[in-house]
Structure 1
Amino acid sequence: MRVVGVIPARYKSSRFPGKPLIRLNGVPMIIRVVRIVEKALGKENTYVATDDNQIKDLVESYGYNAIMTSESCLTGTDRVYDFSKKIDADIYINIQGDEPLLNYLDILKIVNVKKDHFECVINGMCDISEDENPDNVNIPKVLVNKSNTLIYMSRLAIPGSKSPAIAKDRVFKKQVCIYGFNKIELAAFGRTEQKAVYENFEDIEILRFFDLNIPIKMVETSGSSYAVDVIEDVKKVEEELLKLEGKK
């Protein structure tokens, strides 16, 4: 069974143009993420899927695989679908390119759960840390049932409560952007060629699978993830990287 790791990367981000190329303590962010995926899945199974020649050239200059994909991809998962038409595999692990603090063991965990639950889309989650604000719309919040099947994901602080006494005890989960797909799931997603209603409202692509009646199983990860959503996140992530590198 072949498992490949795919990092979708585009240059023209509305919130942060050129984000994959930003240097974090001197190393391009996309390369930091590529190295994490390589550690989990091996260099030969690690790819960047992009529509930008600058990103492709940079990735290849570091000796890694880059595949050009369409400029019209609506989301990162649409880009992975486009990639899947060129590179064959049994399992595609989609790793978001703006999370340079991911633990490679979490990628392996997603792979193993996908193998055990091949009929489900797999996605990571962890507790929101004390220094993160649940009201931050850049952080997708996760609701699951007792079997960790996704109920809903929102940029609002869910679960909500009308009771202040109950609300203070809420525990918030956030999405960690490692996904596991098989080829059939990717094709169902990509062939829609349009966003689902709630996917469009929330700007959370995994919600499209609700309309496709494909179950989504969420997996607890180590919680080591901080994403670079906007340029203001760069300093915080650089500080965290220094802490990690200081422990080695």
Structure 2
Amino acid sequence: MKIVAIIPARFGSTRFPGKMLALLQNKPVIVHTYESVFNTGLFDEVIVACDDEAIYKAIQLAGGKVVMTSPTHLCGTDRIAEAAGNLDADIVVNIQGDEPFTQREPLEKLLAVFRNDVKAEIEIASLMQPLKLQEQIEDPNFVKVAIDLNGFALYFSRSVIPYNRNNIGAKYYEHIGVYAFRKSTLLKVTKLDPTPLEMAEQIECLRWLEYRIPLKMVITEYNRIEIDTPEDLAMANNMMNRPVKNNQL
């Protein structure tokens, strides 16, 4: 089974334009992300799919593999599908370019879904982690996922799901936007028209559920800093500047 990681990286960003090239410890964010993913040792290939010449050159200078994709893509899934079109791959993993602290263990759990799927029935898998703080549970920036008894997604929402009417200790999970696709499924979902729930919530993977494509969820602890704003970048730089204790940053 050949497994490829593709990191979509676009220059534009509403909250932080050019964040992929913002310097984190004197190295662009996208280079940190590429190196973190490559250093997991889990992938046969790691490729950055970008829409900008400067990002392209930054990855080349770092010795990485990079491809130029269309600047018109509206989401990372479409961008990685273009990059994956002619690749020899069974599984394609989408890892966001603004996650420079990507770690091995969550990705290992994600890939185990396919290695254990002897009948090749699972088409897409993704990550989730427990949410315990009430302010995060209520925050629409934290996408929540409700799952069935077999760990497949029932629904994703920016609202609080499930609604804990009788205060019986409901569990809440944050969806982590890391996806693993069978290549054939990746190419299929990018041809699907947008759907009502997807457009209402502005959550892409709802489209797949609306078309009845099962999405297996994998629970993990995914402590990370996404570089969404200049404040996130400052936090990440501060974290990397701290002395290392017990092999942890």
Same fold by TM-score greater than 0.5: yes
Rounded to whole Å, the distance in 2 between the matches of 1:226 and 1:34 is 15
Counterpart of 1:145 in structure 2: which amino acid? D
User: Residues 10 and 50 of structure 1 are in contact (CA less than 8 Å); yes or no, is this contact kept in structure 2?
Assistant: yes
| Correspondence list, 1:11-30, <5 A | 11-30=11-30
Q: TM-score, normalised by structure 2?
A: 0.87
**Runs of 4+ off more than 6 Å:** none
CA displacement at 1:129 relative to structure 2: 5.7
Rounded to whole Å, the distance in 1 between the matches of 2:180 and 2:12 is 25
SS of structure 2 residue aligned to 1:124: strand
Task: Compare 87-96 and 22-31 and name the one that shifted more.
Answer: 22-31
Structure with the higher helix share, 1 or 2: 1
Does residue 145 of structure 2 align to residue 142 of structure 1?
A: yes
SS of structure 2 residue aligned to 1:133: helix
Residue equivalent to 2:121: 119
Residue equivalent to 1:238: 237
Q: Aligned-residue CA RMSD in angstroms?
A: 2.4
Rounded to whole Å, the distance in 1 between the matches of 2:178 and 2:241 is 23
Residue equivalent to 2:98: 98
Rounded to whole Å, the distance in 1 between the matches of 2:97 and 2:174 is 17
Over 3 Å counting, the alpha-carbon distance change for 1:227 and 1:172 in structure 2 is farther
User: Residues 5 and 43 of structure 2 are in contact (CA less than 8 Å); yes or no, is this contact kept in structure 1?
Assistant: no
| Correspondence list, 1:1-248, <5 A | 1-41=1-41, 45-117=45-117, 118-120=120-122, 121-128=124-131, 130=133, 133-162=136-165, 166=167, 169-192=169-192, 194-242=193-241, 245-248=244-247
Rounded to whole Å, the distance in 2 between the matches of 1:225 and 1:207 is 24
CA displacement at 1:240 relative to structure 2: 4.0
CA displacement at 1:37 relative to structure 2: 1.2
Over 3 Å counting, the alpha-carbon distance change for 1:237 and 1:141 in structure 2 is farther
Q: Name the % identity.
A: 30
Rounded to whole Å, the distance in 2 between the matches of 1:148 and 1:243 is 38
Over 3 Å counting, the alpha-carbon distance change for 1:56 and 1:30 in structure 2 is same
Deviation readout 1:144-168 (Å, 9 max, x if unpaired): 12211101111223222345xx18x
Unaligned 5+ residue runs, structure 1? none
SS of structure 1 residue aligned to 2:230: coil
CA displacement at 1:9 relative to structure 2: 0.7
Rounded to whole Å, the distance in 1 between the matches of 2:134 and 2:98 is 19
Q: TM-score, normalised by structure 1?
A: 0.87
Rounded to whole Å, the distance in 1 between the matches of 2:5 and 2:175 is 18
